Structure 1
Amino acid sequence: MPGEQTRSPVTVRYWAGARAVAGVDEDVLDGCATVAQAAAAVVRLHPGLVAVVPVSTLLLDGRATSGDTALPAGAVLEVLPPFAGG
């Protein structure tokens, strides 16, 4: 239909504690136009991520990003929680 936008799937990859909470390495999402929409979608899929996503660095195709950033077709969004170490 005119004016309708179709979004290509976006792959969301989880690292470290995010992976442990989600219980999967990655998800493929449809219909997310922005990073914020994808973040909300993964929290709906894996409610335990509600505490992890807000403190995580989100990488869009390898670069740090923010919630209002548009998701291009075929993008990879990574959830990288903070972790301690030395």
Structure 2
Amino acid sequence: MTTADDRTESTRARITVRYWAAARAAAGLDTEEHSGDTVGDVLAAAVGAHPALEPVVQVASVLLDGRPAAREAPVADGMRLEVLPPFAGG
């Protein structure tokens, strides 16, 4: 039986991550790709690449293919994850 820990980077799902507002500022770009098995894996990879994202990711909402997603939600190749920090204003 293969576990998530046994999978290599090349066998993990490749996800497009889109950053909004403060997440975009922290990452220094608006879109990139990361790999993972779950939303949490993908977010951890993003934080690993951009440590300034950590406090933003802790409070951000995430959408997976346009729907709210928990950190435990599984991901598949080609999905889009959007990182939405809290917004203020009106």
Specify if TM > 0.5.
yes
Q: Once the 2 structures are TM-superposed, how far is the Cα of residue 27 of structure 1 from its aligned partner?
A: 1.3
Query: C-alpha separation between the residues in 1 aligned to 2:38 and 2:89?
Result: 32
Q: Once the 2 structures are TM-superposed, how far is the Cα of residue 40 of structure 1 from its aligned partner?
A: 0.6
1:2-81 matches, within 5 Å, as 3=2, 6-30=11-35, 32-81=36-85
- Runs of 5+ in structure 1 lacking a partner? none
- Runs of 5+ in structure 2 lacking a partner? none
Are 2:46 and 2:53, in contact at CA under 8 Å, matched by a contact in 1?
A: yes
The runs of at least 4 consecutive aligned structure 1 residues that moved more than 4 Å come to 2-5
Query: C-alpha separation between the residues in 2 aligned to 1:24 and 1:47?
Result: 13
Query: C-alpha separation between the residues in 2 aligned to 1:72 and 1:83?
Result: 28
Query: C-alpha separation between the residues in 1 aligned to 2:41 and 2:13?
Result: 14
Corresponding pairs, count:
84
SS in 2 for 1:9: strand
Structure 1 length as normaliser, TM-score?
0.89
- RMSD in angstroms over aligned alpha carbons? 1.5
In structure 1, give the amino acid aligned to 2:16: T
Structure 2 length as normaliser, TM-score?
0.85
Larger helix share, 1 or 2: 2
